[in-house]
Amino acid sequence: MLTESEHLSLRKKYNPDGSNLRKAQLRMLEMLVYTDKLCRENHLSYWLEGGTLLGAVRHKGFIPWDDDTDIYMLADDLKKLKKIMLQNEHPDFIWQDHDTDSNEFRFWAALRDIKSEFHPILKIEKIKKCGGPQVDLFPVETNILRLPNKLVIEINGKFLTLIEKYSKSDIPVLLTKIWHSFVIYILFPLFRLFGKYFGNRNEYSNSYGACWGYYPKSWIFPLCEVEFEGHSFFAPCDYEKYLKKKYGEDCFEMPTSDKIITHT
């Protein structure tokens, strides 16, 4: 693990106090704290995921160059959280998914900050109602069929590429909306029906529309807690196995500068 001097050196290089990135990280921290509070009050299960979880374990906070935050939730709990957030509006944060923003075509949700904004490079980000720093909220389920999910993701990616290329026209957006509705209301229910018989009920994975790993239930529950930016958040009970499967055996070591990847 990193020493205190190494932590300070990385902070100075990538996200010093007062920098735009650090301001965004601290704003996302506020959103994480808010989400954690609602989940604890309403007995909803969540855990830190992806670079957010790796940052908690390796840096006790944000990976210095990271500019988003990720949470996984059981699909039913995420639906409950959505209802709670929509019924109790926050002055600074909004729930964003396809139901609340018709130009959001991802199959998961986000909590967005409405008092600030990223400067988007991709055209598809510019057509959304809100483009502020976010906490991505991913539903997870059991019995997910891997191959159909992979195919849907690939096709969806082609539609989003179409929007990106021809966003000045309404036709690509309209086609994507039709596709999105077809997938949500017809394909996904069919997949879930077959998944009851042919899926793996002993592992968790992203709900249909995302595909970033399959993990045994025993690696996740019972949840533990980890430190992140001076706060305590939930994490998979065997987060070391979880992260090594996701990022490789050497994930707790600092990557060399040529392997550091940031979002656009």
Asked if the structure places residue 264 within a domain, the reply is: no
Asked if the structure places residue 203 within a domain, the reply is: no
In percent, how much of the chain has pLDDT > 70?
A: 98
The domain of 136 spans 4-141+215-259
Asked if the structure places residue 70 within a domain, the reply is: yes
Burial label, 257 (beta-carbon count in 10 A; 0-12, 13-18, 19+): exposed
- Structural domains in the chain (count): 1
* Cβ(223)–Cβ(45) below 8 Å: yes
CATH number of the domain to which 69 belongs: 3.30.460
Asked if the structure places residue 21 within a domain, the reply is: yes
Q: Find tokens 């055996």 and name the residue.
A: 249
pTM for the model stands at 0.92
Asked if the structure places residue 185 within a domain, the reply is: no
Asked if the structure places residue 165 within a domain, the reply is: no
**Looking at residue 82, what DSSP letter applies?**
H
- Tens digits of residue pLDDT in 76-103: 999 999 999 999 999 999 999 999 999 8
Asked if the structure places residue 208 within a domain, the reply is: no
- Tens digits of residue pLDDT in 121-131: 777 888 888 88
What is the chain's mean pLDDT, rounded?
Answer: 91
**Looking at residue 142, what DSSP letter applies?**
S
| pLDDT tops 90 at residue 12 | no
* Cβ(48)–Cβ(226) below 8 Å: yes
29: its two tokens: 């921290």
Q: Maximum CA pair distance of the chain?
A: 54
Asked if the structure places residue 194 within a domain, the reply is: no
